[in-house]
Copies of this chain bind each other. A is one copy, B any other.
Amino acid sequence: MRKLPLLLSALTLAGVSTLSAAQSWEALPETAPSPANNPTTTEKVELGKILYFDPRLSSTGTVSCNSCHNVMLGGEDNRSFSMGVHGQLGGRSAPTVWNSAFNSVQFWDGRADSLEAQAAGPVTAGVEMGMKSWDDVVIRLEAIPGYADLFKSAFGEKAVISKDNATKAIAAYERTLITPNSPYDRYAKGDESAMTAQQIKGLNTFSQTGCTSCHSGAAFNGPTMPAGSGFYVNFPTFTDSAYVKKYNLLKDKGRGEVTKNKADDHKYKIPVLRNVALTAPYFHNGSVKTLDEAVRVMAKVQLNKTLNDQEVADIVAFLGSLTGEFPEQTMPRLPSYSGKTITP
């Protein structure tokens, strides 16, 4: 990947006189690497897309992966807490599936070390898709004749319908969900006109404020880590801010809920900022409804800085430049269980 310094000429044109400390800015890769045990293939992606959209992977037949991670929107559901089977609420805000391929760990607390591991979770979570077990999921998929051939096509003639293959296929599909060519990407690649003057100003404010100390890299989700290793940060760091109480930021123990290690309490993986303008409400608990307030809160509770309205507006403008191009997709056709129903 090309790394380019900020374009001084553009900044000068825009009336910005200072350039922030040496900083390289990366464009988003157009493809995501796949793990050695799950190379991306067309057939796997197609099966994964079908599974991703199939609500019969939920106990009620009403909730698919796409219900909470809606690829027709910003890759999530614009809700504070997602709504699973029987209208039950989850405990955290659904992260976006777009560009999740660039996370080294998944979930807010990093408890899944791969997209494959992540895909296994919600299906059997009681308040999400509510299946009793993956054995039950496999039985259900086996009862839908078309799936057997789709699994064989994706994994070979001897392949069976299994949790392992299903989650591999879903992960393979998710690795195709990348949004390149945002204004920021075009700017980073040398197109000085791709970002507005305010967006460029906001980029500098973002950097100078210190946001890039965590939100670095092509997806702005932190330093590059080996797949499966997480980079966790305390949130909130400055706990005496009034925002902490207002937005109930200390209720959730984050990573600590997983490790049961007190040192991990309130630590989270750094979320992707790509398309962040599309993914309101914000934070793990979806407590902040607007992006400008999210910027204000982050500066205060993470960096102990109080931004003025202009700085907030500039950073919001910059974040808007991270909205990329969403690849056109065909709708999958879900195989049918001919003449019978398998959901309640």
Chain A interface (Cβ < 8 Å from any Cβ of B): 53, 55-56, 60-62, 67, 70-74, 77-80, 83, 85-88, 277-278, 280-281, 286, 289-292, 316, 319-320, 326, 328-334, 336-344
Contact = CB atoms under 8 A, between A and B. Distances in A.
Given A87-B87, A339-B291, A78 B60 contact: no
Main secondary structure of the interface of A (DSSP, over half): loop
Given A78-B337, A80-B344, A326-B333, 14 more contacts: A60-B83, A61-B77, A61-B79, A62-B79, A70-B334, A278-B336, A280-B339, A280-B341, A281-B341, A290-B340, A292-B339, A319-B339, A329-B330, A330-B331
Identify the 7 closest CB pairs spanning chains A and B, nearest first.
Answer: A87-B87, A291-B339, A86-B87, A280-B341, A281-B341, A278-B336, A62-B83
Contacts of A332: 72
Given A277-B339, A331-B331, A60 B85 contact: no
Given A79-B343, A79-B344, A278 B338 contact: yes
B326 A338 contact: no
Contacts of A340: 280, 289-291
B53 A72 contact: yes
B331 A329 contact: yes
